Amino acid sequence: MDTAVFRAWIRVAGEVIEANRDHLTQLDAAIGDADHGINMTRGFAAVTAAIEGAATPGAVLTVTGSTLISTVGGASGPLYGMAFRRAGKALGTAPEVGLPELGRALEAALAGVQQLGAAREGDKTMVDALAPAIRAFGKAVAEGAAAGDALAALAEAAAAGAAATVPMEARKGRASYLGPRSIGHEDPGAASTALILAALRDTVARETGAR
């Protein structure tokens, strides 16, 4: 997976976020500030232009993170910014990235999110999508799965993790102020995380022919 693949991933992620802008905002209206879809769409629109000059996969992710921090409001900007910047740093200056390196970058992203947000699985946050996705991806890679299968496992686990936030009571973020009233709603951050990881799966399949 070279720089072009990573640029394509971020562009596709932006398109998917924009297509789901209203859905993400509706999710956030139930338990947050009703701006998650709007903010994420604005952030990725800025990112699409910013990454054109990035020369390596790591640089693409680092620029993505820095741009999201500067353009996305609320908690999402810092959290997603931290995730992408940590992932970019983990990739370093390598011109191409294999599955093990991608796995380590995703682990670094999760560690950054948890450090900044102090959230654990079960707190009804983006961690509930990201953490199981990384476990599923790591397991698939360790078992020798092809790129397409490993990324499918990543995306499917993220989607399942996001769906699993519906019956949870929020313990972090603005939603936690609602207490039991946060139950019955999908966490918008987990939902957008699942969309971004699904975009990674779809982009790699299209750009590299991975199955």
Instruction: List the structure tokens of 188.
Output: 């918008």
pLDDT band at 210 (very low <50, low <70, confident <90, very high): low
| E strands present in 71-192 | none
Q: CB neighbours of 19 closer than 8 A, spacing ≥ 6?
A: none
209 has a pLDDT exceeding 90: no
Predicted local confidence at residue 165, as pLDDT: 97
Per-residue confidence band for 186, with pLDDT thresholds at 50, 70 and 90:
very high
Angle at 172 between CA 168 and CA 175, to 5 degrees: 70
Fold for 3-208, please state it. 1.25.40
Cα separation of 118 and 116, whole Å?
6
Does pLDDT of 211 surpass 70? no
pLDDT for 182: 87
Longest CA span, the chain? 48
DSSP state of 94: -
pLDDT the model gives residue 160: 98
Name the pLDDT band for 8 (thresholds 50, 70, 90): very high
Average pLDDT over residues 11-16: 97
Encoded tokens for 72? 């996305």
85: helix, coil or strand? helix
How do residues 71-125 score in pLDDT, each as one tens digit? Answer: 987 788 999 999 999 999 999 999 999 999 999 999 999 999 999 988 999 999 9
